[in-house]
Chain A
Amino acid sequence: MTITPNDPWYSCLPSCQTQVPCGQGRHTVRWEAGQLRLPEHPDAEAELVLAALGGEKAGCVVLAEAWGRHTSDLSVLAVGPRGPADEIVVSWQDVEEAAQAGQRGGAAAFSSSLRRPRLAVPPAAAAGHSARQRQIQQEMERAAERRNDMLSLLALGHGFAVRLAGQVAAAHADSADATARPALVAAITGRLALVAEQWLGIDPDQVLVSLHHGPGWGRAELTGKERGRRLRVSLPASWLARVWACGLALTGRHLVVAVDRAGWPDARVLALRAPGAEPVLLDVHARQSDGPDGTAGAPHWEV
């Protein structure tokens, strides 16, 4: 069976929203139809211009910028949630403390820890040493910014983290960029392994994933016995966005391998009852439930 979706990857996802610190209060941030929206900052671009002229940047706008920086960042897949039960709780106080720690000179302290005592340094070597120190400093600052971005995005809650992961996966799903393959294989493995544990009771370490290219949904087979047992699954990178991020991966005791007709709250999916079995089409219906951290936006699908 060939699945060639024309609809956007997020068609099976409802909108979600949360409150974030902004100025002296809290503002709503909403995810809707693949976009992060700031209802209380209708002209965010104008605010950015003002910020560039020396004004203070609103917390919501800072967050939206961070979101924009990471919509194709594969690190989002490495850090973010592997499933609804994978509890990640980052509070806004954690984000604030991490940012303050960076400003207090965490980077400088790190950089000084790399300095090695030298008895005498010739001028040319000293210049090179200084350049290295600057390089270390710059890399430290970039690392701190990246870390603070990630913490902010995780602080939005499970629903947003899953949607961002879906957006990242979608950005790389059709890419011919071979450099993304290891991260995509790891990302699918980490998530599918937990799904397979629930589906078959198999040890997650026994799940082997490869990327499927070309027509069709891929394949899934169970080989070996006991400690040599392996679930070998080949799926396209788009599975992460279209199936897993939409909460469809395990629906009605079936492993969903593709979406045939996307929609919310009703969709039709292609699913396996068991490894090696022929996939079947299932009509599924969703209701929205809370994520593990209490935020809304984690769909629960039933046949």
Chain B
Amino acid sequence: MNREGAETYLRLMAEAELRGPMAPVRRQPWAGPGGSIARLAAVAQALTAVRAIDHETVEDILADFDLAVSVRQRADRPAPNPLGAAGPRPGRLLFPPPGMLARRSMAAVLSSREPASAPQPGPGSGGPDRLVPVGLTVPYRDESLSGEMFLMAFAHTAAGARFTMVWQTHSRYDPDQGPVHPGVLPFGRFTVTDNRGGRYQLHLARSRGPEWAGDVSLRPEPPDDIRWLDISAPDGPVVRIELDPGGAEPPGGTEAAGDGAELPVTETKLSPGEHLLVMLAERLLTVAPEFPHDLRMQLAAISPGPLHTMATGMGDVIAALEAADVLSPLSPVPGRLAAVCAGMRVSGHGITAPPAQDLPEPWLSLLAHYQRRKPDTVTVRDGYAAVAAALPELDGIRLALLSLLNTDGGSWLQVLARGLEPETPRGPFGIDGHFPLSVWIRDSGGRWHACRPAGSHRHNGEDVLKLQLVPPLTRSTAWIEVLAAGPSAQVRVQLPLRWGYLH
């Protein structure tokens, strides 16, 4: 890695961009600071993401650029004052109070310094993780509320024991008060016991994503080797959850995977720059959910399209990664990114490499999805499936797949992750630097779905993440193939599914 090359590139880029504010002197047109700042920020974020430059240096460069632009931008430009700079004030400077760029960069620096809570080596006593698919419904009813809690998977790791679940509640009509709206699930009224007589309480820790989904932790933490748990709901039956791997396969589940060591890992050998560009391409391919549905329907027909501004500076990012020696000039990835831009009708990206033909199969699948005339017309049926499986470590990150959920017109994969850096600053173009893996799902119909981070919460060094599938599943697929990849390795695992449905 060429850190000096990276810093030099960023500084030279700032120099070039500064010639914009000098435009009146040079009699050149200048569109204003917006484009300059966007490109400079994108390059700075990219070089930071691949660790070619540190946050402090970026902060200094951006703060200097910010000030340099400020002292060259005046609302009016009167003729030079013969009394000199010490004379009467000739014009007002446009000072952004402390510089916007410096502010953004400072926030990134400080957030990145938050101490990480180190992950513990295993569940409670130091044993291996325990992942068990559950796939059971726990009905409940009391005087004001009724519904079902669907337990999808049980995970017991260093961070504790928890169920991944969804729930639904039913409204009740009171003849005197009218409709009584359901509230939050009464977790305090559930009782949980294990095969040894131990008693536990359920605590909800919901993350962003589908409204009625999350995970509930068991407190106190149970021993590693309990065989089953009985959950008793208010005015409902006792539901037994078998945790013994030798037990019968649960309804709605897959077989449990252990630590993932048996799954084949293949080398990918992507350079840090290539991996960043792959993440960038996938970000572009999965940006559709951020647009309103009607607009999304028109994406394929709009030119240059609403994604235009998102791509500003991609060519600069590629050049910067090459200057930092984290991207070979011979790499095929820039051409693939150019092909994605072309497929998504994104212009103004500045990528000089011609669009490549050899796109990865998942990318082609998603591009074909967008290029259909009516890509999102099939309604997803609400349902859930347990997919408890541990993946082998990929570039220092361990993932455990917990559940798959179709709800609210979307599909979500819930995963447990260890080894993620906390509070990582956002990467260029909105890339989630916190989750630096590429995850794809292929359904039984052969279509690929990208998994984009859409919320997480952290507990004891572990992150529970909701990954949103783009596009959502259009049917209850019989199996999925999960492809997870980091810069140096990837793993594929095929998992059969049995769906439970929300009524």
Contacts and interface: CB of A to CB of B under 8 A. Distances in A.
Contacts of A79: 64, 67-68, 71
Q: Select the residue from A20, A86, A106, A290 with max chain B CB neighbours within 10 A.
A: A86
A140 interface: yes
Given A79-B64, A79-B71, A93-B89, A181 B8 contact: yes
Given A89-B74, A110-B103, A204-B19, A75 B60 contact: yes
Interface string A86-129: 11111111100110010000110110011000000000000010
Interface residues of A, number: 63
Interface stretch (A42-50, A153-161, A260-268): A153-161
Nearest to B83: A294
Interface stretch (B92-100, B334-342, B372-380): B92-100
A158 B72 CA distance: 13
A157 B81 CA distance: 11
Contacts of A223: none
A84 to B, nearest CB: 10
Q: Select the residue from A88, A186, A189 with max chain B CB neighbours within 10 A.
A: A186
A181 B4 contact: yes
B68 A78 contact: yes
A144 interface: yes
Interface string A64-97: 0000000000010011001001111111111001
B115 interface: yes
A295 B84 CA distance: 5
A86 B65 contact: no
A273 B189 CA distance: 90
Interface string A134-168: 01100110011001001100111110000000000
B61 interface: yes
B80 A75 contact: no
B107 A114 contact: yes
Contacts of B103: 110, 113
B19 to A, nearest CB: 6
Nearest to A21: B86
Contacts of B22: 82, 85-87
Contacts of B351: none
A292 interface: yes
A302 B201 CA distance: 88
A120 B24 CA distance: 53
Contact of B15 (A190, A292, A296): A190
Interface in A19-71: 19-21, 26
B67 A189 contact: no
B55 to A, nearest CB: 11
B82 interface: yes
Contacts of A88: 71-72
Contact of B18 (A18, A128, A150, A190): A190
A20 B15 contact: no
B237 to A, nearest CB: 34
Interface residues of B, number: 52
Nearest to A158: B85
B286 to A, nearest CB: 25
A117 to B, nearest CB: 14
Q: Select the residue from B84, B102, B107 with max chain A CB neighbours within 10 A.
A: B84
B85 A295 contact: yes
Interface in B142-190: none
B478 interface: no
Given A89-B91, A93-B89, A181-B8, A143 B84 contact: no
A132 B11 contact: no
Contacts of A75: 60, 63-64
A252 to B, nearest CB: 22
A83 B215 CA distance: 62
A176 interface: no
Contacts of A156: 85
A293 B15 contact: no
Contact of B65 (A78, A94, A106, A109): A78
A26 B86 CA distance: 9
A178 interface: yes
B295 interface: no
A185 interface: yes
Contacts of B106: 110, 136, 139-140, 143
A197 B26 CA distance: 10
Given A88-B71, A88-B72, A135-B110, A186 B8 contact: yes
Contact of A182 (B7, B25, B113): B7
Interface in A222-271: none
A144 B88 CA distance: 25
A292 B80 contact: yes
B80 A293 contact: yes
Given A147-B98, A182-B7, A89 B90 contact: yes
Nearest to A147: B67
Given A94-B93, A132-B113, A147-B67, A78 B74 contact: no
A6 to B, nearest CB: 31
Contacts of A283: none
Interface in B15-37: 15-16, 18-19, 22, 24-26
A293 B85 contact: yes
Nearest to B60: A75
A194 B90 CA distance: 26
A180 to B, nearest CB: 10
Nearest to B72: A88
B235 interface: no
Given A154-B71, A183-B11, A185-B12, A143 B98 contact: yes
Given A93-B89, A135-B110, A147-B67, A106 B95 contact: no
Contacts of A90: 71, 85, 93
A140 B107 CA distance: 11
Contact of A78 (B19, B61, B95, B98): B61
A182 B4 contact: yes
Q: Select the residue from B8, B14, B86, B107 with max chain A CB neighbours within 10 A.
A: B86
B416 to A, nearest CB: 22
B84 A110 contact: no
B358 interface: no
Interface of A: 18-21, 26, 75, 78-79, 82, 85-94, 97-98, 101, 106-107, 109-110, 113-114, 128, 132, 135-136, 139-140, 143-144, 147, 150-151, 154-158, 178, 181-183, 185-186, 189-190, 193-194, 197, 204-205, 290, 292-296
Given A85-B22, A136-B106, 17 more contacts: A19-B86, A20-B86, A78-B61, A86-B72, A89-B91, A89-B93, A91-B85, A106-B98, A144-B98, A181-B4, A183-B11, A186-B14, A190-B15, A190-B18, A194-B19, A204-B16, A293-B84
25 contacts: A19-B84, A20-B86, A21-B86, A75-B63, A75-B64, A78-B14, A78-B68, A85-B26, A87-B24, A87-B77, A87-B80, A88-B71, A89-B90, A90-B71, A92-B85, A94-B89, A101-B97, A110-B106, A114-B111, A128-B114, A144-B98, A151-B71, A185-B12, A193-B15, A294-B87
Interface of B: 4, 7-8, 11-12, 14-16, 18-19, 22, 24-26, 60-61, 63-65, 67-68, 71-72, 74, 77, 80-93, 95, 97-99, 102-103, 106-107, 110-111, 113-115
